[in-house]
Chains A and B, each alone.
Chain A
Amino acid sequence: MATRLQFENSCEVGVFSKLTNAYCLVAIGGSENFYSAYEAELADVIPVVKTSIGGTRIIGRLCAGNKNGLLLPHTTTDQELQHLRNSLPDRVVVQRIEEKLSALGNCIACNDHVALTHPDLDRETEQLIADVLGVEVFRQTIAGNILVGSYCAFSNRGGLVHPHTSIEDQDELSTLLQVPLVAGTVNRGSEVIAAGMTVNDWTAFCGSDTTATELSVVESVFKLREAQPSTIVDEMRKSLIDSYV
């Protein structure tokens, strides 16, 4: 189910939070309403961790992650790094990387299997993304924009891209990502999809300006209506138990 919320009068919830299938990061400093909205949806299923990155609250745009790992920019302090390592599940590899494009959330869009990256990312970073996040990496642009992490949001079940993405581009991306894609907007016509919303396989959070039409598009493309957190987490749990044996 998709929820609408605000962070201190700002509808850019994708800037102040990061949601994956294994954990959720939330910025410090917003009112407790923001944090409790996430807790209400996610508390029993995945940990919700309050943090800052490099002393800032724009954590959603600075880090990139999925259920396998979390990549942090070089501006992350040691305390923040330690805090994240302590709070996140052990199977999530937390790694700080030296990359001059430090807003990793704007440069990398990923789900649990595939990642799209900014065309100018370093080769070493690309390698690290593949290792830490366990994904296949593709350098791409979206509707001519190099900040792929800002202009699309995708999960393992669907994706939403910049409204000006052509049909050919959508088809190409859809083949790469192996998920259905739709071009749309959030927050009353904002094109910066990933700043306005954050999504995982069973839930999504959108800014409160998101219209009912936009919300229904989000719910249908990400297949949120039938999704239950327990089934997805159980699937992951089964595969984990296998690995211990």
Chain B
Amino acid sequence: MGQRRPAKRRRLSRTPSLLLSFSPFSRFLLFAHSSSVPKSGSPDPSPSSKSTVDGIADPKPPKAIKRMESSEDEEEKQEIEMVQADFEFFDPKPGDFNGVKLLLQSYLDKKPWDLSGFVDLILEQTTVGTIVKSASQDGEEEGDDDGGDDDESLFAVISALNLGRYAGHGCIKELKRFLLEVCSDESTKTKLKLLLEQQASDVGLLVSQRFVNCPYQLVPPLYDALFDEVSWATEDELFCFLKPTQELRDSFRLKYYMLLTRILENKNVNQRKAKQSQDYEEPFIYIKAEDEIFRELSLLSFTFRLHAEQLISHELKNYREMGLVMVVKADDISKFREKLKSLLAKS
């Protein structure tokens, strides 16, 4: 089953320590720097260190150890110390509940909904979906847990949920209701309704969330992993280790991907005059850069206002955080993957 999965790749990872925020990620980098000497090669995480919590499934080795090359030069006056950070990609498992829930806390703005149920759906779908955790630096940590025992070191989650397969779950119903509520444009709403109801089994909800300052080098492998898993799942989806069912394989033959994400929109509508001057500000800032690519390729997209408290930094005071919903055709995904790679190559 796992033969087609990519073998572990190792590349040296470096992350500039721009530790100006209080995120768990920057805290981790601080401790990683102070506690251990950067190693030239990371030790092979042995299968025994990844003991299973759930007794049923076999211990799955991490799918890929992602380390990044960063040859950026820091042109800052103070000494920037390079910190090595290793990230591991894991299949979702029930123990990740608290970490994933934290990442998806504001998924539906302020609306109270069955977030726990939604997280459970993501974690139950072990064949499609990836969780990114830090590789433990300290060799003396309790070896009984798999690498990344603390949910605090869970940095990113990505998954694709078939809206038709899970249509009966309360959280999916609430999510669909929310999407229809926030859509203000009538024609878009009709198209959206069609996708969410009649065509739901062709639509995959692409859930992708990560801490804001995650290194960008993580992103292309994350999306590659997801789309590869979706195509593998159409061939060999298993249900509780029993015979693969045609139904479940078909549930991954997706025609559309739906995304619900956040962007920053410029509050000043009148940008035309400013276009020539240096004060021109981008009308949109994409918090996750890949959203810009998705939006270009999207079949339909719309933004909506958020009601939750906004935490905007001073430099971005002209911007307001908005929600963005997009639908992308599955056929356009290969274009997306290429553009994503070239986006990274440029930066």
Contacts and interface: CB of A to CB of B under 8 A. Distances in A.
Interface string A205-223: 0001100000000000000
Interface in A170-213: 187-190, 208-209
Nearest to A57: B309
B148 to A, nearest CB: 15
B139 interface: no
A8 B116 CA distance: 13
B342 interface: no
A190 B115 contact: no
A9 B98 contact: no
B116 A209 contact: yes
Contacts of A208: 116
Contacts of B101: 209
A86 interface: no
Interface centre among A9, A188, A190 (most CB of B within 10 A): A9
A189 B98 contact: yes
A106 interface: no
B112 A6 contact: yes
Main secondary structure of the interface of B (DSSP, over half): helix
A8 B110 contact: yes
A51 B110 CA distance: 20
Nearest to A10: B105
A146 to B, nearest CB: 15
A211 to B, nearest CB: 11
A179 to B, nearest CB: 28
Interface residues of A, number: 11
Interface in B71-98: 95, 97-98
B98 A31 contact: no
Interface in A1-34: 6, 8-10, 31
Contacts of B302: none
Interface residues of B, number: 11
B284 interface: no
A82 B113 CA distance: 36
A207 to B, nearest CB: 10
A150 B113 CA distance: 27
Given A31-B112, A209-B116, A9 B97 contact: no
Contacts of B116: 188, 208-209
A21 B147 CA distance: 42
A33 B67 CA distance: 46
A190 B105 contact: no
Contacts of A31: 112
Nearest to B110: A8
Main secondary structure of the interface of A (DSSP, over half): loop
B98 A8 contact: no
Given A9-B105, A10-B105, A190 B112 contact: no
A197 to B, nearest CB: 15
A12 to B, nearest CB: 10
Interface in A72-96: none
Contact of A189 (B97, B105, B111): B97
Interface string B9-38: 000000000000000000000000000000
A174 B322 CA distance: 51
Contact of A190 (B98, B110, B111, B113): B98
A208 B116 CA distance: 9
B165 to A, nearest CB: 24
A188 B98 contact: yes
A183 to B, nearest CB: 16
A8 B97 contact: no
A31 B111 CA distance: 10
Contacts of B95: 189
Interface string B165-188: 000000000000000000000000
A209 B115 CA distance: 10
Contacts of A10: 105
A188 B116 CA distance: 10
Contacts of A189: 95, 97-98
Interface in B89-136: 95, 97-98, 101, 105, 110-113, 115-116
A101 B238 CA distance: 52
Interface of B: 95, 97-98, 101, 105, 110-113, 115-116
22 contacts: A6-B112, A8-B110, A8-B112, A9-B105, A9-B110, A9-B111, A9-B112, A9-B113, A9-B115, A10-B105, A31-B112, A187-B98, A188-B97, A188-B98, A188-B116, A189-B95, A189-B97, A189-B98, A190-B98, A208-B116, A209-B101, A209-B116
Given A9-B112, A189-B98, 9 more contacts: A9-B110, A9-B113, A9-B115, A31-B112, A187-B98, A188-B98, A188-B116, A189-B97, A209-B116
The 5 closest A-B pairs by CB, nearest first: A209-B116, A9-B112, A190-B98, A188-B97, A9-B115
